[in-house]
């Protein structure tokens, strides 16, 4: 883990160095362009003054060529800017991570709600079937529930717990009866062997 962190730190250092170098290169290019434009402008002014004093057709032709060269010279040089992540973009990275996390949580909640909705639809269908098969029983269940929902839930939990206890007792009884029958068979076998 430390090795990865060290590598990341060295990469960050290299990136910040590259960023500084590219910024200085952009500044140099801009300075050179401004200097070139200023030099050409000064030369043009000198030529204009010279031509005003010594005007001739040949000089005017040279002047128009220089003027045309100035027009065709780009005023700004184009510099490519590469988008990149650096130490200054921590806020963007943290924001993006927070948005991804909130999106993931929203999707998880939506899936949970969908599953719960499906389960409730199944329960509703089962209750509607029970209502069709035994209207009197479901009417009684509805009246008990609507009178006191909390008490109905407690009674249901008590009855379910009692039913579970009875089933466990029946299983224990059945298992013990089988053990008793096995013990009785073994006793009979031992008595028959002892008689011989």
Asked whether the beta carbons of 189 and 195 are under 8 A apart, the reply is no
What is the Cα–Cα distance from 111 to 174, expressed in whole angstroms? 44
Does pLDDT of 78 surpass 70? no
Question: Distances from the Cα of 104 to the Cαs of 51, 97, 110, 157, in angstroms?
Answer: 75, 10, 10, 36
Across 58-87, average pLDDT = 67
Q: Kindly report, residue by residue over 144-155, the tens digit of the pLDDT.
A: 888 888 888 888
3-class secondary structure, 80: coil
Domain boundaries, the chain: 2-77, 92-146, 148-196
What is the Cα–Cα distance from 113 to 105, expressed in whole angstroms? 12
Across 98-103, average pLDDT = 95
pTM for the structure as a whole: 0.36
Across 73-87, average pLDDT = 65
Across 68-89, average pLDDT = 67
The rounded percent of the chain whose pLDDT value lies above 70 is 83
Across 159-167, average pLDDT = 92
């Amino acid at each position: 883990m430390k090795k990865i962190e060290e590598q990341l730190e060295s990469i960050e250092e290299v990136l910040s160095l590259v960023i500084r170098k590219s910024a200085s290169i952009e500044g140099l290019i801009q300075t050179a362009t401004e200097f070139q434009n200023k030099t050409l402008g000064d030369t043009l002014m000198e030529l204009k003054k010279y031509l005003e004093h010594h005007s001739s057709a040949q000089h005017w032709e040279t002047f128009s060529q220089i003027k045309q060269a100035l027009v065709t010279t780009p005023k700004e040089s184009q510099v490519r800017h590469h988008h990149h992540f650096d130490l200054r973009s921590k806020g963007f990275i943290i924001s993006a991570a927070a948005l991804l996390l909130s999106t993931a949580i929203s999707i998880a909640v939506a899936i949970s709600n969908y599953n719960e909705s499906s389960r409730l639809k199944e329960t509703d269908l089962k209750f509607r079937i029970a209502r069709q098969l035994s209207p009197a029983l479901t009417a009684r269940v509805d009246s008990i529930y609507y009178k006191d929902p909390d008490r109905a839930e407690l009674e249901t939990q008590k009855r379910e717990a009692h039913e579970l206890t009875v089933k466990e007792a029946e299983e224990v009884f059945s298992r013990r009866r089988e053990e008793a029958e096995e013990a009785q068979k073994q006793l009979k076998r031992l008595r028959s062997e002892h008689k011989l």
